[in-house]
Amino acid sequence: MKIIYSKEVANALNSKPIVALESTIITHGMPYPTNIETAKKVEQVIRDNGAIPATIAFIDGICHVGLEDDEFERLGNDPNLLKISRRDIPVVIAKKLTGGTTVASTMIISNLVNIRVFATGGIGGVHKGANETFDISADLDEFSRTNVAVVCAGPKAILDIPLTLEYLETKGVVILGYKTNKLPLFYSESSEYDVDYRVDSASEVANIMKEKWDNKINGGILIASPIPSSYSIDNKEIDKIISKAISEANLNNIKGKKLTPFLLEKISKLTDNKSLESNIALILNNAKVASEIAKEYFKK
């Protein structure tokens, strides 16, 4: 695999803490130009908090770790780009294709280049109705084998949360609640579900990361960081909206890679863009938390 580093990331390798970022937030997560604006704001939050951002993507079959301005524009303004997960990587390289990386593929590349902290919005998981569709995100299996700590606002609220948690437990993935005892659910800062362990500082997370990997216990760590309270949407309110969006997806036979982008766009419309504002707020917050963790782990 050919890897190109941005100038900023190349200068930081082995000398500064780095935080990885996915690129499906640009290619599939938000409308243009909000997608590019948000991605650049996320990068700036990381810089402002003492780390270096590394947005990961594939462009013409080449893996980019860190993006330049023209690359952001290319990824953000083409509606036909790929959503690249684990299974897609070899095909994308061989056929010289372009697209955004998911949580799973971003973890793979981060691990490959020795970036141990990754900030994202929410992770994928077991979709509702998976007992019939078997629709389970590759993100979950990636956590079981790839040594990256992922800061997120919990599983995406569109998922079957109990089954997602059960799957993570089966795969041996620990969920750390960052300054919380309850699992955040993307748009909502809290839920009825407990996290595995509460952590109250970036240093505490860094210590857990070091002990896990120094002792050859392979796999990722999930750090659930609640959305800021002022942007949190009530669970009952968002559940009704999600149910309506899922019904429309089922009616139109939308599934697989197209399902999550469809649902997020539909939820945004049904909430008069409140969910989009929440989405932006939570990823900015996750970037800040991830920067603090990256700085602490860099000292180890």
Catalytic residues: 22, 156
DSSP string, 170-206: HTT--EEEET-SB--BTTBS--SPBPSEEE-SHHHHH
Helix (H) or strand (E) holding 19: strand 18-21
CA atoms within 13 A on the CB side of 254: 17
Both tokens of 149, joined, read 């700590």
State the alpha helices, DSSP H only, in the chain: 7-12, 24, 34-48, 69-76, 89-95, 103-112, 130-133, 138-143, 161-170, 202-214, 235-251, 259-270, 274-298
Helix (H) or strand (E) holding 101: strand 99-101
Pairing of strands 52-59, 62-65: antiparallel
282 Cβ neighbours under 8 A, 6+ residues apart = 121, 122, 153, 186, 187, 227, 228, 231
Both tokens of 70, joined, read 């023209």
Side chain identity at 210, as an amino acid letter? K
Please report the sign of the dihedral spanned by the C-alpha atoms of residue 185, residue 187, residue 188, residue 189. Answer: positive
286 three-state secondary structure: helix
Whether residue 33 has a cis bond before it, omega within 30° of 0 = yes
